């Protein structure tokens, strides 16, 4: 099996370095050549390696390649090692494939931007960091990748750094991510302390953590703490409660960034980590339950907020949070491959939705508010159809991709519920089902709001048959021609739409048990072979779950059609419930009041009191004291000779008294 992961890792790095150093001087074609070349080569190598893996027998599908020995300390050894197994192969394909499509799309979207070269160098850097994260073979190298993707996210969210909101959003993302990094580091410390090694599996460097685990310690407090610390990192990176606040604000970045990082790849790092470290999670069943519950609550919570948002990217952001919750729910019931499956299908349709939204924004000259849209169906045909595909996919309508992966998760949830008969498991399944309806509703609200009804904005509709004309008057005084995006942007949309349609079939097609064809699950099986506690769904359970979920999805679509089918009419709604959801449960305001303002107050007060009064005051007090002493002593210098003679006499008397007392 050829393991070309090193190339997959290094080409984007090379692209980043070249573009970073020389990019500002290169012409546009060269920049694209380097960027597309780097990402394209990465994808090519990943594909070759993937097919090579398919050609090897399942038992031999693990390859661990050490690039460079990093830390050697006695028996402990950690290196830059790349692990290539089914899980990392899947992730590599997704990252480089979707990444390449978005690189192509961005050439059109960012064409007017003066920071064109900077954008592509950051994108290449992100690809490099993400590849590093998913192919690391030990926890420490994973931590490096974890931090680097956080950095890439910061750079790309704050890409338009002259905007204060963008910089603030980037800072918010970084701060919340650091909380997660803290959790990951604590987990690594605990793992090292307990097991003495940090490699995942046994390799040339030494034994691995997962081989050293003792099943007898299941349920121990230490395992629980490790698992929860790891999940803290996942919650921060994958925007779960309570660390989700950064993702909606991250929409300040360019839309391709939102598509790549905050929909398809970076936010899925948390899901990947749970899957990769599943032996550790298996030893802490309570942690898995917590993960499932948090995933479910987050899914519902985010879906409720998305119901009434007006910014189209915000709706998609909250929908991402919601779908990530689904993935964690799947992993929480021990079905890791279901979580990964949903990760892949979500990558397709969420990237599609974001890129299509980007096409709309691009066509409207930067408009993101749904109230200014409508009736774009006739103007943006390709976008319309691809967006529809994406919306159907995310709502879970068969036979599109989203249906298969969601169904997998839902039936796992119901199977778990029927297996252990716990109320909480049933509740989780119920939450998931309700969220299906909500998802369908708000996505179709979005769809109708953008494309149906009459155009409510200030632009001028183009004539029929008018293709893209780069008129200078396009941006004059708010009136411009609305036209479809150029092919460089629409072709990736079409490709992603096709993937959203057929992508699910790769994962599983055993719905009616006609065929137990579950390629992805089978592919990932060697990785998760040690998971024995997964409840398999019986025939009846699966059918019930499927029918109920499709029914709820149709219900949601129907409700959206009734309300918004003729277009989105914005009405000011004073209902307090509506206001609560519209303002995202006032979470940001609460956090600002409870955490941010006290910290700022503390900082200001510390600066004033500690530095001003204590430190400065202390030194001033010393100076003042010395001045006082010297002023007091100065009074001895009266200038009168008689006083000085008196002083001499005092000295003499003291000496004589000393001798008198001494005897």
Partner 1 sequence: MPLSAYLIVSAILFTVGVVGVLIRRNPLIIFMSIELMLNAVNLSFVAISSKLDSADGQMFVFIVLTVAAAEVVVGLAIIVSIFRTRRDIDVDDMNLLRG
Partner 2 sequence: MTVVQISFFVLAVASVASALGVITFKNAVHCALSLILTLLFLALFYLQLGAMFIAVVQILIYAGAIMVLFLFVVTMLASEASDTRLADRIPWQRWVAGILGLVLVGALSYLLFTGTSIDNRAVATGANSLSHVVNAQGNTEAFGQALFHGFVYPFEVTSLLIIVALLGAMVLGRKA
- Residues near partner 1 (CB under 8 A) are 634, 636-642, 645-646, 649
- Cβ contacts of 484 within 8 Å, gap of 6 or more: 359, 363, 379, 380, 381, 382, 383, 467, 468, 490
Q: CA neighbours within 13 Å on the CB side: how many for 384?
A: 16
Binding piece for partner 2, criterion CB under 8 A, among 131-139, 200-208, 574-582, 652-660: 652-660
CB of 646 vs partner 2, minimal distance in Å: 6
Binding piece for partner 2, criterion CB under 8 A, among 158-166, 302-310, 526-534, 638-646: 638-646
Distance CA 446, CA 391 (A): 9
Does 642 contact partner 2 by CB under 8 A?
A: yes
Question: Nearer to partner 1 by C-beta: 458 or 638?
Answer: 638
CB of 636 vs partner 2, minimal distance in Å: 13
Does 643 contact partner 2 by CB under 8 A?
A: yes
Count of residues near partner 2 by CB under 8 A: 14
Question: Nearer to partner 1 by C-beta: 423 or 633?
Answer: 633
Lookup: tokens for 143: 């931590």
Backbone angles phi, psi at 203, to 5 degrees: -150, -165
Distance CA 347, CA 259 (A): 9
CB of 616 vs partner 2, minimal distance in Å: 41
> Which of partner 2, partner 1, none interacts with 636 (beta carbon under 5 to 8 A by kind)?
partner 1
Cβ neighbours, 10 Å, residue 53: 21
> Which of partner 1, partner 2, none interacts with 634 (beta carbon under 5 to 8 A by kind)?
partner 1
> Which of partner 2, partner 1, none interacts with 71 (beta carbon under 5 to 8 A by kind)?
none
Distance CA 274, CA 423 (A): 25
Closest by CA to 424, choosing from 568, 557, 579, 296, is 296
Q: What share of the chain is helix, strand, coil (3-state, %, to 5)?
A: 70, 5, 25
CB of 659 vs partner 2, minimal distance in Å: 6
> Which of partner 2, partner 1, none interacts with 59 (beta carbon under 5 to 8 A by kind)?
none
Distance CA 573, CA 405 (A): 36
Q: Please, what is the angle between helix 116-135 and helix 139-157, to 10°? A: 160
Question: Nearer to partner 1 by C-beta: 539 or 640?
Answer: 640
Lookup: tokens for 168: 């603030």
CB of 594 vs partner 1, minimal distance in Å: 60
Question: Nearer to partner 2 by C-beta: 632 or 663?
Answer: 663
CB of 621 vs partner 1, minimal distance in Å: 24
Distance CA 595, CA 589 (A): 10
Coil, helix or strand at residue 203: strand
CB of 598 vs partner 1, minimal distance in Å: 53
Binding piece for partner 2, criterion CB under 8 A, among 93-101, 534-542, 595-603, 636-644: 636-644
Closest by CA to 213, choosing from 238, 196, 235, is 196
Binding piece for partner 2, criterion CB under 8 A, among 323-331, 355-363, 464-472, 646-654: 646-654
- Cβ contacts of 640 within 8 Å, gap of 6 or more: none
Lookup: tokens for 202: 């046994």
Does 657 contact partner 2 by CB under 8 A?
A: yes
Residues 148-187 that bind partner 2 (CB under 8 A): none
Lookup: tokens for 657: 């008294």
CB of 658 vs partner 1, minimal distance in Å: 17
Tell me if 54 sits within 8 A of 86, measured CB to CB: no
Question: Nearer to partner 1 by C-beta: 464 or 648?
Answer: 648
Does 640 contact partner 2 by CB under 8 A?
A: yes
CB of 632 vs partner 2, minimal distance in Å: 17
> Which of partner 2, partner 1, none interacts with 477 (beta carbon under 5 to 8 A by kind)?
none
CB of 593 vs partner 1, minimal distance in Å: 60
> Which of partner 1, partner 2, none interacts with 657 (beta carbon under 5 to 8 A by kind)?
partner 2
Binding piece for partner 2, criterion CB under 8 A, among 44-52, 65-73, 328-336, 654-662: 654-662
> Which of partner 2, partner 1, none interacts with 659 (beta carbon under 5 to 8 A by kind)?
partner 2
CB of 604 vs partner 2, minimal distance in Å: 54
Question: Nearer to partner 2 by C-beta: 590 or 650?
Answer: 650
Distance CA 553, CA 536 (A): 24
Name the residue with tokens 């003729």: 566
Question: Rg for the chain (alpha carbons), in Å?
Answer: 31
CB of 656 vs partner 2, minimal distance in Å: 5
Strand partners, 71: 78
Distance CA 97, CA 506 (A): 16
Binding piece for partner 2, criterion CB under 8 A, among 7-15, 278-286, 463-471, 642-650: 642-650
Give whole-number Cα distances, 380 to 109, 270, 422, 472, in Å: 15, 35, 49, 20
- 572: phi > 0 → left, psi -120 to 50 → alpha, else beta; which? beta
Angle at 302 between CA 300 and CA 305, to 5 degrees: 110
Question: Nearer to partner 1 by C-beta: 599 or 650?
Answer: 650
Does 638 contact partner 2 by CB under 8 A?
A: yes
Largest Cα–Cα separation, the chain: 125
Binding piece for partner 2, criterion CB under 8 A, among 297-305, 566-574, 581-589, 645-653: 645-653
CB of 642 vs partner 1, minimal distance in Å: 6
Does 650 contact partner 2 by CB under 8 A?
A: yes
Question: Where do contacts with partner 2 occur on this chain (CB under 8 A)?
Answer: 638, 640, 642-643, 646, 649-650, 652-653, 656-657, 659-660, 663
């Amino acid at each position: 099996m050829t393991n070309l992961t090193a190339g997959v890792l290094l080409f984007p790095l090379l692209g980043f370095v070249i573009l970073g150093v020389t990019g500002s001087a290169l012409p546009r074609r060269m920049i694209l050549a380097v960027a597309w070349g780097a990402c394209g080569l990465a994808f090519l190598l990943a594909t070759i390696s993937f097919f090579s893996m398919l050609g090897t027998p399942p038992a031999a599908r693990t390859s661990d390649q050490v690039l460079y020995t990093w830390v050697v300390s006695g028996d402990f050894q950690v290196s830059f090692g790349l692990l290539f197994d089914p899980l990392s192969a899947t992730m590599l394909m997704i990252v480089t494939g979707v990444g390449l499509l978005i690189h192509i799309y961005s050439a059109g979207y960012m064409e007017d931007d003066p920071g064109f070269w900077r954008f592509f160098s950051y994108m290449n850097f992100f690809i490099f960091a993400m590849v590093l994260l998913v192919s690391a073979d030990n926890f420490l190298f994973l931590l490096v990748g974890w931090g680097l993707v956080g950095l890439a996210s910061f750079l790309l969210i704050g890409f338009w750094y002259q905007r204060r909101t963008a910089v603030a959003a980037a800072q918010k993302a970084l701060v919340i991510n650091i909380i997660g990094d803290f959790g990951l580091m604590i987990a690594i410390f605990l793992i090292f302390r307990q097991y003495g090694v940090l490699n995942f599996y046994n390799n040339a460097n030494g034994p691995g953590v997962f081989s050293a685990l003792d099943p007898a310690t299941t349920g121990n407090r230490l395992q629980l703490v490790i698992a929860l610390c790891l999940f803290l990192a996942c919650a921060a990176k994958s925007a779960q409660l309570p660390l989700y606040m950064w993702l909606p604000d991250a929409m300040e970045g360019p839309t391709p960034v939102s598509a790549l990082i905050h929909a398809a790849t970076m936010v899925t790092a948390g899901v990947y980590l749970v899957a990769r470290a599943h032996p550790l999670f298996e030893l802490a069943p309570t942690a898995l339950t917590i993960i499932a519950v948090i995933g479910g609550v987050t899914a519902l919570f985010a879906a409720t907020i998305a119901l009434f948002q007006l910014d189209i990217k915000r709706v998609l952001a909250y929908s991402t949070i919601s779908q990530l919750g689904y993935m964690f729910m799947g992993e929480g019931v021990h079905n890791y491959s279901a979580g990964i499956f949903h990760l892949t299908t979500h990558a397709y349709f969420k990237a599609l939705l974001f890129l299509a939204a980007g096409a709309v924004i691009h066509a409207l000259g930067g408009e993101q508010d749904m109230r200014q849209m409508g009736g774009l169906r006739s103007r943006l045909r390709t976008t319309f159809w691809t967006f529809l595909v994406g919306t159907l996919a995310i709502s879970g309508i068969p036979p599109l991709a989203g249906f298969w992966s969601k169904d997998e998760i839902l039936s796992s949830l119901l199977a778990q519920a029927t297996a252990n008969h716990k109320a909480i498991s049933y509740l989780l399944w119920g939450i998931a089902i309700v969220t299906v309806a909500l998802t369908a509703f708000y996505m179709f609200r979005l769809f109708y709001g953008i494309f149906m009804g009459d155009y409510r904005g200030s632009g001028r509709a183009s004539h029929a048959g008018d293709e893209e004309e780069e008129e200078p008057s396009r941006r004059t005084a708010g009136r411009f021609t609305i036209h479809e995006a150029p092919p460089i942007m629409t072709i990736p949309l079409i490709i992603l739409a096709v993937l959203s349609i057929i992508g699910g079939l790769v994962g599983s097609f055993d719905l009616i048990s006609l065929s137990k064809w579950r390629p992805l699950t089978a592919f990932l099986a060697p990785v998760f072979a040690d998971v024995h506690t997964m409840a398999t769904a019986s025939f009846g359970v699966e059918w019930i779950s499927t029918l109920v979920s499709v029914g709820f999805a149709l219900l949601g679509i129907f409700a959206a059609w009734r309300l918004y089918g003729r277009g989105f009419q914005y009405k000011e709604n004073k209902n307090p419930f509506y206001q609560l959801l519209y303002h995202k449960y006032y979470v940001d305001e609460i956090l600002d009041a409870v955490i941010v303002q006290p910290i700022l107050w503390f900082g200001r007060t510390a600066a004033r009191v500690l530095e001003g009064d204590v430190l400065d005051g202390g030194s001033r007090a010393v100076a003042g004291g010395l001045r006082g002493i010297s002023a007091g002593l100065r009074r001895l210098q009266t200038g009168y000779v008689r006083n000085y003679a008196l002083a001499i006499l005092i000295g003499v008397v003291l000496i004589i008294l000393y001798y008198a007392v001494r005897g």
